[in-house]
């Protein structure tokens, strides 16, 4: 059984190098093909122009290296989340004394749930450097949908996370602390320091004892010598997967240009997971069975309704032919029946509901007490228009109810009132 399915939503992770973009600068990258829990990542290096393309099923994630970020906890004014246009200025003001550079030259990003966190984390990096790399990727035909930190502070109450990366010459040991942020030291500096391991890392002994430590193959021996046993081997760059799974997105403020595209990718990822994941297979089967049952039921209901309508039409046509044998062609049996009855009534001299005398009598009977009959009116077959007639709301309602009981419709039409026989009334 394969570890991944090509039809699933893929993720292209590109780590941004520490230097400025150039045609020869290599970008570490990897493509994630499988579902969470069984994913693998193969690490590659290539120039921006040679990076693999990303189709509609691929989310492109830019990974900001841990060395490019600094972390700060801040206290923000209450209600700031309701004034989105002031958030960036508020952050710059709070961090002005903490940063070595001008806050306006730095890119600031808040954690996802900052509005509900008393002291949220803020990630800070060089704005010009970040924008330059994003533009280089855009020129290579890649739209970045998310920007995530390589390492981030842990959640409150979680143990300290130690991540050993690289090798003895270029590697670093990184500390992810839930209360103090993320910091690291190169291996050569740790070997030269004449202190205990926890002191060299800036940790207390209990924190060192409970810390979780993972190391890439080139750093396992170094981490074991420095920290003792308990080091777990981690394939190269596998901590990128945890970074992608986090709720961090550094594309905030002026870098939110691709927010809609990122949202679409998130929807596509969720839909792809539901559509292909084995966990959702029973739900998918249930959905298809429900859909088929609905289609079968709708078709059966439509067939029965049509059959009943045809039987009713045939019954009306038979009644019409039996009552008026002279009818040779039946098009609309109820209408033709009404026309034949009206013709018989007119031939016999009886008044119909649409005759003037009948309508005047009905109007006189329906007029509320105290409401004078209109003096100006006009008549055409089945309709009477009354002018200069102004009943109040209560009289109008009473008149409408009385006429409806007598078989007439009553409504306003511009400046006049219109009284029609129900058979002639328009919807």
Question: How far apart, in whole angstroms, are the C-alpha atoms of residue 79 and residue 58?
Answer: 37
For domain 1-151+246-276, the CATH class is: alpha beta
User: The tokens 């450097």 sit on which residue?
Assistant: 129
β 231-233/212-215 pair status: parallel
Contacts of 328 (CB under 8 A, 6+ apart): none
157 within 8 A of 166, measured Cβ to Cβ: no
Number of residues that make up the chain:
427
Q: What is the mean pLDDT of the chain?
A: 84
Res. 347: pLDDT tops 90:
no
If you average pLDDT over residues 30-47, what whole number do you get? Answer: 79
Question: How far apart, in whole angstroms, are the C-alpha atoms of residue 213 and residue 174?
Answer: 10
Q: Residue 170, SS3?
A: coil
If you average pLDDT over residues 372-397, what whole number do you get? Answer: 81
Res. 252: pLDDT tops 70:
yes
**CB count in 10 Å sphere of residue 279:** 10
Evaluate whether 1-151+246-276 and 351-421 have a shared fold.
no
- Split at pLDDT 50, 70, 90, the class of 316 is confident
89 within 8 A of 42, measured Cβ to Cβ: no
222 within 8 A of 164, measured Cβ to Cβ: yes
- Split at pLDDT 50, 70, 90, the class of 5 is very low
Res. 367: pLDDT tops 80:
yes
Is this prediction's pTM over 0.75? Answer: no
Q: Catalogue the E-assigned strands of 33-152.
A: 44-47, 58-64, 70-73, 106-110, 121-126, 146-149
Q: H or E stretch including 298?
A: helix 281-323
pLDDT at residue 268, as a whole number: 66
pLDDT at residue 350, as a whole number: 64
- Split at pLDDT 50, 70, 90, the class of 67 is very high
- Split at pLDDT 50, 70, 90, the class of 427 is very low
Alpha helices (H) in 324-411, listed in sequence order: 333-348, 356-366, 393-405
pLDDT at residue 326, as a whole number: 80
pLDDT at residue 181, as a whole number: 94
Alpha helices (H) in 119-238, listed in sequence order: 127-139, 187-192, 197-201, 205-210, 220-227
Which CATH number applies to 351-421: 1.20.1300, 1.10.287, 2.30.30, 3.30.1360?
Answer: 3.30.1360
Alpha carbon 53 to its chain centroid, in Å, reads 26
Q: Structure tokens of 238?
A: 């596998």
Domain boundaries, the chain: 1-151+246-276, 153-235, 284-345, 351-421
Question: How far apart, in whole angstroms, are the C-alpha atoms of residue 367 and residue 359?
Answer: 12
Rounded to whole angstroms, the maximal C-alpha distance in the chain is 124
Question: How far apart, in whole angstroms, are the C-alpha atoms of residue 410 and residue 307?
Answer: 37
Among the listed ranges 225-239, 261-275, 304-318, which one has the minimum average pLDDT value? Answer: 261-275
Among the listed ranges 50-64, 92-106, 181-195, 259-273, which one has the minimum average pLDDT value? Answer: 259-273
Q: Residue 324, SS3?
A: coil
262 within 8 A of 251, measured Cβ to Cβ: yes
Res. 2: pLDDT tops 70:
no
pLDDT tens for each residue of 146-172: 999 999 999 888 999 999 999 888 899
Res. 7: pLDDT tops 60:
no
Contacts of 275 (CB under 8 A, 6+ apart): 284
Res. 6: pLDDT tops 50:
no
If you average pLDDT over residues 231-255, what whole number do you get? Answer: 91
- Split at pLDDT 50, 70, 90, the class of 424 is very low
Res. 136: pLDDT tops 90:
yes
- Residue 184: is it exposed, middle or buried by C-beta count within 10 angstroms (0-12/13-18/19+)? buried
pLDDT at residue 368, as a whole number: 80
If you average pLDDT over residues 93-107, what whole number do you get? Answer: 89
Which range has the top average pLDDT, 177-191, 248-262, 356-370, 374-388?
Answer: 177-191
């Amino acid at each position: 059984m394969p570890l991944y399915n090509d039809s699933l939503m893929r993720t292209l992770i590109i780590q941004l190098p520490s230097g400025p973009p150039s045609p020869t600068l290599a970008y570490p990258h990897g493509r994630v093909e499988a579902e969470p829990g069984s994913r693998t990542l193969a690490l590659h290096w290539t120039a921006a122009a040679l990076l693999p393309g990303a189709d509609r099923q691929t989310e492109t994630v830019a990974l900001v290296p841990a060395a490019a970020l600094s972390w700060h906890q801040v206290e923000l004014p209450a209600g700031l989340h309701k004034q989105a246009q002031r958030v960036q200025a508020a952050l710059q003001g709070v961090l002005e004394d903490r940063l070595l550079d001008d806050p306006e030259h730095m890119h600031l990003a808040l954690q996802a749930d900052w509005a509900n966190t008393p002291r949220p984390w803020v990630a800070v990096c060089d704005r010009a450097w970040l924008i330059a790399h994003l533009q280089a990727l855009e020129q290579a035909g890649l739209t970045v949908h998310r920007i995530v930190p390589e390492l981030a502070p842990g959640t409150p109450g979680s143990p300290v996370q130690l991540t050993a990366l690289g090798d003895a010459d270029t590697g670093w040991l990184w500390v992810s602390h839930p209360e103090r942020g993320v910091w690291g030291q190169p291996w050569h500096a740790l070997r030269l320091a004449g202190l205990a391991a926890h002191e060299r890392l800036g940790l207390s002994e209990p924190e060192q004892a409970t810390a979780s430590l993972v190391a890439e193959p080139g750093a396992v021996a170094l981490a074991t010598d420095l920290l003792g046993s308990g080091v777990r081997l981690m394939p190269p760059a596998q901590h990128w997967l945890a970074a992608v799974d986090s709720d961090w997105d550094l594309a905030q403020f002026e870098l939110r240009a691709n927010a809609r595209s990122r949202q679409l990718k998130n929807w596509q990822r969720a839909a792809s997971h539901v559509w292909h994941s084995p966990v959702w297979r029973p739900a998918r089967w249930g959905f298809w069975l429900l859909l088929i049952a609905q289609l079968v039921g709708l078709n059966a209901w439509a067939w029965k309704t049509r059959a009943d309508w045809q039987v009713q039409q045939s019954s009306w046509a038979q009644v019409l032919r039996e009552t008026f044998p002279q009818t040779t062609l039946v098009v609309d049996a109820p209408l033709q029946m009404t026309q034949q009855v009206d013709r018989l009534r007119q031939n016999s001299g009886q008044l119909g509901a649409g005759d003037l005398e009948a309508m005047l009598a009905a109007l006189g009977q329906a007029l509320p007490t105290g409401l004078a009959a209109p003096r100006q009116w006009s008549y055409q077959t089945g309709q009477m228009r009354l002018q200069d007639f102004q009943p109040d709301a209560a009289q109008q309602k009473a008149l409408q109810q009385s006429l409806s009981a007598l078989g007439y419709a009553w409504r306003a039409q511009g400046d006049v009132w219109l009284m029609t026989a129900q058979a002639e009334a328009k919807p």
